[in-house]
Chains A and B, each alone.
Chain A
């Protein structure tokens, strides 16, 4: 094991230890916020697999987030399915939807793909209103927050935090294995030089569609968790702005970086609130300033800046 890997492992373990301690230190409200950070982080990792690693821009991941959220909400509300089962179902459904959307998307590159996915994001709130019988129309669906299973003396917020943390760790480990192996190299090769990748025997079409599917599945699982955490779904929660927020999150966190998703999640969760604290009159102007400052100071995202700082530190000591 190289020195760098050892460090990385240590940081991850410390981070997990802190994450596990938080429920016993923070108020339920703060936990709810961190649960949302984790949910965003899962969605951002999904989008990052597609955009950061594979180079396909999506402005429509809010649609998959909505699909996941509604899958969970409808299964619980209509068929009284235990909530635990709804999460993998939401993931599988989004995997299929993403894969199918990925096939026609193969013909579109760069900005054209961005526009096609943007259309998806625009359409979703209206489609949700159209299938009123299932989705409850613009009234949405109200759910109950799942409590901790018997024998555990945790508040619903603590329990949901641990569930989300568990899903997050599982998906991040799976994601890391996928991206650091042969498949990951193929995914990145397609981004960097599609022709060379084809020449080396990478099936571009298949990999791109599959990447789209996996990416959508991650986002869908995040959506399912968000339905549980918010205990309510409505079309107004899944407007175009959500998709843009995801894109902001991965760029701020760090493109093509797994841990970047966590930093991106922290950013999209907390910075709008800080902006509002600073100015109630123009919170989005303040948010914009934050964005510009972040992009100016850390052009490669938070993870990029941390890596750079780490490298400088190593040189300084070495």
Chain B
């Protein structure tokens, strides 16, 4: 054998399998009489791997659905790939899902930059890009991106709710803001400012920001106290939320403390910060917190715990992400059931945009999922809650950002 032949053979051996990839076309991509293939990317590795539990909980939930007979006789084949929270990898993986694995649609891809990278591609390919896992506002734009739909209340929605509360309930408010210097933080601040309106914006006396890499935010808290603010709008992720609650308590600053939903976990944030220091915090919620004792005897929470034990025993039952994943998976199952036997991509999108007053067991009482042909924001309701030293006590009515 000459060296040339060896090289040629090696190349054929290396490239050969690539030539015969991809299944044959069906009536609808990703759908057979016995299966629906759904694609997903999640950061199982890399800097955002804490979110990876969402992908695992989704996988576990679809296993449960399949064990119970699937949807209309079809089992769910959930193909979830690691993108390490890197946008180029997300592009590659989603192209693989669409072009090679031929999934019916893409569901719950996680992250704002990663979803931005595939937003245009999926809309060009006319592949449903359902219930993306990010709180940015741009996912509900059916006019320009008719194939993409969000899920959770946006950060701006939440900011809006706090603004309304402050305007109604605080006499002579002076607002101090602490926010993380990125899209997430800025979206929250924008929501508050929009909610305050042109005139209300003057009520903000000081804005302080921090970088996610900063070690502490102590000096920002001191500055906020010295500004004379009597309302503290706290837009921080759990690590910094703990510091902020502790520090403001330690220096004797007692403003009306609005804590963003991102850090509302009793176990992860409030306990480490001190339950006494956390008393009277206010937040906006839409999901039941698994660490909040008031849901201990709630049927939905019991079912969730049973699910976690059976299908995802290695998962953390204190992690709100697992509640989140369970709920969004139920939302998808609802859409697929509503599709009946027409699982074309057009119909999946039509039905996703046709959810009417859907209650899910781990949404707070009174909160419903609603979509329409021009409303691509499924959850737009939240309720305020005050921490009473032990649990989040819901108060007031359910706020609905969808009603303008």
A residues in contact (CB < 8 Å) with B: 7, 10-11, 14, 18, 22, 25-30, 32-33, 36, 126, 129, 137-140, 142, 144, 226, 230-237, 239, 241, 276, 280, 283-284, 310, 313
Residues of chain B within 8 A of A237, CB atoms compared: 86-88, 113
In the complex, 29 of the A-B residue pairs with CB atoms within 8 angstroms, ordered by the A residue number, are: A10-B4, A11-B7, A14-B7, A29-B100, A30-B100, A32-B92, A32-B95, A129-B181, A129-B182, A138-B112, A140-B87, A142-B116, A144-B120, A226-B88, A230-B88, A231-B117, A231-B120, A231-B121, A232-B116, A233-B87, A234-B87, A234-B113, A234-B117, A236-B114, A241-B46, A241-B86, A280-B82, A283-B44, A284-B45
Q: In the complex, are the beta carbons of A236 and B99 less than 8 A apart?
A: no
Q: Which of these, B85, B120, B182, contacts A137 with CB under 8 Å?
A: B182
Which residue of A is nearest B101, CB measured?
A29
Residues of chain B from 96 to 151 with CB closer than 8 A to chain A in the complex: 96, 99-100, 112-114, 116-117, 119-121
Tell me the smallest distance from the CB of A247 to a CB of chain B, in Å.
17
Q: In the complex, are the beta carbons of A36 and B7 less than 8 A apart?
A: no
Residues of chain A within 8 A of B274, CB atoms compared: none
Residues of chain B from 53 to 99 with CB closer than 8 A to chain A in the complex: 80-82, 84-88, 91-92, 95-96, 99
User: A237 CA to B88 CA in the complex, in Å?
Assistant: 6
User: A139 CA to B114 CA in the complex, in Å?
Assistant: 9
Q: In the complex, are the beta carbons of B112 and A28 less than 8 A apart?
A: no
B residues in contact (CB < 8 Å) with A: 3-4, 7-8, 11, 15, 18-19, 21-22, 44-47, 80-82, 84-88, 91-92, 95-96, 99-100, 112-114, 116-117, 119-121, 181-183, 211, 213
User: A25 CA to B18 CA in the complex, in Å?
Assistant: 9
Q: Which of these, A139, A241, A283, contacts B116 with CB under 8 Å?
A: A139
Residues of chain B within 8 A of A283, CB atoms compared: 44-45, 82
Q: In the complex, are the beta carbons of B119 and A138 less than 8 A apart?
A: no
Residues of chain A within 8 A of B8, CB atoms compared: 14
Complex A-B, nearest 3 residue pairs according to Cβ-Cβ distance, in ascending order: A29-B99, A232-B117, A234-B113
User: A240 CA to B211 CA in the complex, in Å?
Assistant: 18
Task: List 15 other contacts, CB 8 Å, given A129-B182, A140-B117, A236-B114.
Answer: A14-B8, A25-B19, A27-B21, A29-B96, A36-B92, A138-B183, A139-B116, A139-B183, A230-B91, A231-B121, A232-B117, A234-B113, A234-B116, A234-B117, A239-B47
Which residue of B is nearest A277, CB measured?
B81
Residues of chain A within 8 A of B18, CB atoms compared: 26, 30
Residues of chain B within 8 A of A22, CB atoms compared: 15
Residues of chain B within 8 A of A142, CB atoms compared: 116-117, 119-120
Q: Which of these, A27, A137, A241, A313, contacts B100 with CB under 8 Å?
A: A27
Which residue of B is nearest A137, CB measured?
B183
Q: A137-B182, A140-B113, A231-B120 are in contact. Are A236 and B87 (CB under 8 A)?
A: yes
User: A231 CA to B124 CA in the complex, in Å?
Assistant: 13
Residues of chain A within 8 A of B80, CB atoms compared: 280
Q: A137-B182, A142-B120, A310-B3 are in contact. Are A232 and B87 (CB under 8 A)?
A: yes
Q: In the complex, are the beta carbons of A7 and B3 less than 8 A apart?
A: yes
Residues of chain B within 8 A of A231, CB atoms compared: 91, 117, 120-121
Which residue of A is nearest B6, CB measured?
A313
Q: A10-B4, A280-B44, A280-B82 are in contact. Are A27 and B91 (CB under 8 A)?
A: no
Residues of chain A within 8 A of B120, CB atoms compared: 142, 144, 231
Q: In the complex, are the beta carbons of B82 and A276 less than 8 A apart?
A: yes
Which residue of B is nearest A235, CB measured?
B113
User: A11 CA to B81 CA in the complex, in Å?
Assistant: 36
Residues of chain B within 8 A of A276, CB atoms compared: 81-82
Q: In the complex, are the beta carbons of B21 and A30 less than 8 A apart?
A: yes
Q: A140-B116, A276-B82, A283-B44 are in contact. Are A313 and B3 (CB under 8 A)?
A: yes
Q: In the complex, are the beta carbons of B11 and A27 less than 8 A apart?
A: no
Tell me the smallest distance from the CB of B42 to a CB of chain A, in Å.
10
Residues of chain B within 8 A of A29, CB atoms compared: 95-96, 99-100
B45, B81, B85, B114 pick with most chain A CB within 10 angstroms: B45
Residues of chain A within 8 A of B21, CB atoms compared: 27, 30
User: A26 CA to B15 CA in the complex, in Å?
Assistant: 10
Residues of chain A within 8 A of B15, CB atoms compared: 18, 22
Q: Which of these, B85, B113, B213, contacts A126 with CB under 8 Å?
A: B213
Tell me the smallest distance from the CB of A281 to a CB of chain B, in Å.
8
User: A32 CA to B91 CA in the complex, in Å?
Assistant: 10
Q: A29-B99, A239-B47 are in contact. Are A138 and B92 (CB under 8 A)?
A: no
Tell me the smallest distance from the CB of B69 to a CB of chain A, in Å.
25
Which residue of A is nearest B1, CB measured?
A313
User: A231 CA to B116 CA in the complex, in Å?
Assistant: 10
Residues of chain A within 8 A of B181, CB atoms compared: 129
Residues of chain A within 8 A of B22, CB atoms compared: 27
Tell me the smallest distance from the CB of B57 to a CB of chain A, in Å.
14
Q: A27-B21, A29-B95, A29-B99 are in contact. Are A236 and B113 (CB under 8 A)?
A: yes
Residues of chain B within 8 A of A313, CB atoms compared: 3
Residues of chain B within 8 A of A33, CB atoms compared: 92
Residues of chain B within 8 A of A26, CB atoms compared: 18-19
Tell me the smallest distance from the CB of B117 to a CB of chain A, in Å.
4
Tell me the smallest distance from the CB of A19 to a CB of chain B, in Å.
11
Residues of chain A within 8 A of B7, CB atoms compared: 11, 14
